[in-house]
Structure formats: structure tokens, C-alpha cells
Amino acid sequence: MAFIKEFGCWLPIRAVTSEEAGSWVGADSTWVKNVSGIEERRFATDEDMVADLAARAGNDCLQRAGMQGKDLGMVMVASGSGERTFPGPACVAAQKMGASGVPALDLTMASAGSLFGISLAARLAAQLGPILVIGAEKMSRIVAREPQERGVAVLFGDGAGACLITADSGKAEIVDSVLNTDGSFSEDLTLECDRPIKMNGRSVILQASRKIPAAIRSLLEQYSIDPPDVLAFLMHQANQNLIDRVADALGVPSAKFFSNIRKYGNTSSASMLIAAAEWSREFGFEPGEPVVFAAFGAGFNWGALLARGV
Amino acid sequence: MDRRAKLIEIIQKVSKQDTIPGPDESLFESGLLDSFGLPDLISAMEKEFGIQVPDSDLNPRKFDTIERIEEYLDSRN
């Protein structure tokens, strides 16, 4: 048994409008909003590293939980935008949170990394102690790479989210999860060293719009839960149109899918946890009510996780 | 109604346009389909033709023109 004890997040101060981002690639802000739902995204400073963002979100989460870095049994940092191949940001983030000596694991999976991290943490927390799962991305560094593509440069933002998983108590019990990987499509979304993101948008949207609802449905069916009976869906914030499609496929109103993509853009592995942190503060778990997390990303990796409010 | 006519009807419904695309005209390049129209097209085809398109077949190129869609449907018969 494992529980979600707390969420945390950190967003940079600098807001970049879709008018500004669109100007880099000759796109107007109306087009950006129509194809993605994004009006603004946040960009970190040049000095900020992914580990800095991760540590700030992690500290926010720890502070809200009344815990310290030294209390942790493990730190996981999901990120696809780390500045170097190794070491990844996890060890530096752990050190910055006062968790030196605590094992720190990097999940270099991009968008689905936080979901996979929570799922793994739920299985490990009883053995290792509290596990802090962080998703942190500095995508501004990536989208600045030439040549900038119209369909990519305007989508992404920087930020970090965090989730504390414990074995004993929390706001919600983690009931179960389904995780999937299919490397057949690994070339459809890639990021190579010092190169821009390469994305076959049609394939990504096509796969995601089918696989996410299927994963959610298969998970809920195991527990005889109808999608409309779910309190809230906390999904990777990739694109508002995709979120709406997934909601439609499941037969639930889009309003059940918490969305903040308008403000932050696609922050890859961080997005689901930033959304969860904001949802938790604005709405929150209710006793016995199911909440579903879902993500899809490069690999392709995707899945869903079911939690119930305590 | 023959299969091609049904396909054109589906494309028009998904694209919300009355345009009749040529058999080898790219549905993407012509602006009839975008990334989000493609899943709708495939779902409508599945319903209309009683097939289930497996994830391994979800390659946008297979559905880029009417001729390619027909080739795909033939391969499923």
C-alpha cells in the first residue's frame, strides 16, 4: 500500500506570451492558441539548471509535507532536458534539498517520466521509505536550438512539479497503475544532443489520442469504475486539443480534466505534477473518490494511475 | 453508396468542408485533415467499415490519400 502525501511545484517568473513565441517562427498568437490552447509559457533564467528547478519544486513539496530532505528514502527526478548525459539532475537536486546520501534516480523519459516515477515509488516506498518524485524541465534551452520548427518551438515551457509518496499515510491511496512502452515509434519523437526536438506531430497525436483513453479505460475497468464517476483526471499537459479528445473518447466533460496548459505550455515530465499541485490546492482529493493520472510521451511510453482520496 | 463515396462523406464530415479530394491528393497538404482530424477519420472508418485498426497500423502515411486508405482497407479484407 502506498499514499500520495503531498504535491509541490515551482514555476519561473518570466512569462513568454504566444505572441512573442510565435514571432520566432512566423506564427500569430491566434494560431498558437487554436492548435494548442497555449497563451503563455514560463522561461527560467539562463543561470537556472534543471536540478535547480527540481530542487525548488521538491522543497515546496517537502515543506508542505512538514518533512526534510534527510527524511527521504529515495529521490527520483524525471527530465528529458537535462544539460548533460551524466550525471543527471537527480543527484544535484537531492544535494540541494539536503538529501545527500539518499539514493537519487534519474528517469530520462520526458513526458511520461513522472507517471512512471510515481508508479515505481508506490511499489518501493514500503522498502525504502518516503520517495520524492520530481518532474523538472528547462525546455526553453531546447526550443531555442536552430532550426526552430513552427509546430514545436511554441509548445514548450519550463517548470517543475513534485509528489511525495509514502507507505503509511497521505491524502490519497495509490490503488493501481498501468504502464506501457512501444519502441516501434521511438523515432517519432526524439531529442539528440545539441539538436532541436524532432517530432512527427501527426503520429504523436494519433497514438496519444488512442492510447491514453485505452490505458485509462483498462485501468478503471479492473475496478468497475465508469469514467464519469472519476472525480478528476490529472493528465500530462501536452495540448488542450488532445486533452479534450481524451475526455471525449472517455465520455466525460473536459471540465473533469484539470488544465493549466494555457498558462504554462507543455512542460513535459513536469506538467502532470504541476497540474496535480495546482488542482490539489484549488480542489483536492475527497474521501473514497477516484482520481486518475495519465501521461504519454517519447518512446512511446504511456500509462495511467488510479488513486482514491483518503 | 460505394466505398469511395462513403470515404469522401467521412472526410467531409471530419474536415467540416464540402471539398471532394482527388484520389491521390494529400488530405494533410490540402488542409482537409490536421493532426486532430486523423484520429476522428480513423474512428469513423472503424465504425463505418466494421474494422478495428490496431495501434501498429496507426501510421499517418497509410491514411494520407483516398487511394492509400483504400489500399489499407483492401489489405484488411
Question: What does the pLDDT read at residue A266?
Answer: 97
The rounded mean pLDDT for chain A is 96
Tell whether A104 and A204 lie within a shared domain.
no
Contact: B36, A211; criterion CB under 8 Å: no
Shortest CB distance from B55 goes to which of A201, A211, A241? A211
Query: Closest by alpha carbon to A235, among A205, A206, A221, A256?
Result: A256
Provide the CATH topology of domain B3-76: 1.10.1200
Shortest CB distance from A209 goes to which of B28, B39, B60? B39
Measure Cα distances from A71 to A124, A165, A168, A287 in Å: 15, 12, 14, 27
Instruction: Among A166, A188, A209, identify where a domain stops.
Output: A166
Residue ranges making up the domain that contains A27: 2-166
Q: Which residue of A has its CA nearest to B41?
A: A206
Q: How far is CA A9 from the centre of its chain?
A: 11
Tell whether A196 and A222 lie within a shared domain.
yes
Residue B76 has pLDDT above 90, yes or no: no
CATH number, residue A188: 3.40.47.10
Q: Which residue of A has its CA nearest to B33?
A: A202
B74 to chain A, any CB pair closer than 8 A? The answer is: no
CA B36 to chain A, closest CA, distance in angstroms equals: 7
DSSP H or E stretch at residue A171: none
pLDDT tens for B2-48 read: 989 999 999 999 999 988 999 999 999 998 998 889 999 999 999 99
Tell whether A156 and A32 lie within a shared domain.
yes
Instruction: Among A150, A166, A182, identify where a domain stops.
Output: A166
Shortest CB distance from B56 goes to which of A184, A204, A241? A184
Which residues in chain A touch residue B34, judged by CB atoms under 8 angstroms apart?
35
Tell whether A146 and A200 lie within a shared domain.
no
B77 to chain A, any CB pair closer than 8 A? The answer is: no
Tell whether A271 and A249 lie within a shared domain.
yes
Q: How confident is the model at residue A290 (pLDDT cuts 50, 70, 90)?
A: very high
Question: What does the pLDDT read at residue B45?
Answer: 94
CB A222 within 8 A of CB A256: no
Tell whether A238 and A259 lie within a shared domain.
yes
Instruction: Among A132, A166, A200, identify where a domain stops.
Output: A166
Q: How confident is the model at residue A152 (pLDDT cuts 50, 70, 90)?
A: confident
pLDDT tens for A75-105 read: 999 999 999 999 999 999 999 999 999 999 9
CA B69 to chain A, closest CA, distance in angstroms equals: 16
Annotated domain spans of chain B: 3-76
Tell whether A153 and A189 lie within a shared domain.
no
Query: Closest by alpha carbon to A152, among A199, A190, A204?
Result: A199
Contact: A205, B36; criterion CB under 8 Å: yes
Tell whether A21 and A140 lie within a shared domain.
yes
Tell whether A80 and A146 lie within a shared domain.
yes
Q: How far is CA A143 from the centre of its chain?
A: 18
Alpha-carbon span A279 to A229, nearest angstrom: 18
B56 to chain A, any CB pair closer than 8 A? The answer is: yes
CB A25 within 8 A of CB A149: yes
Residues pairing with A293 in the sheet = A234, A305
Mean pLDDT (whole number) for A226-254: 97
Contact: A206, B28; criterion CB under 8 Å: no
When divided into structural domains, chain A yields a total of 2
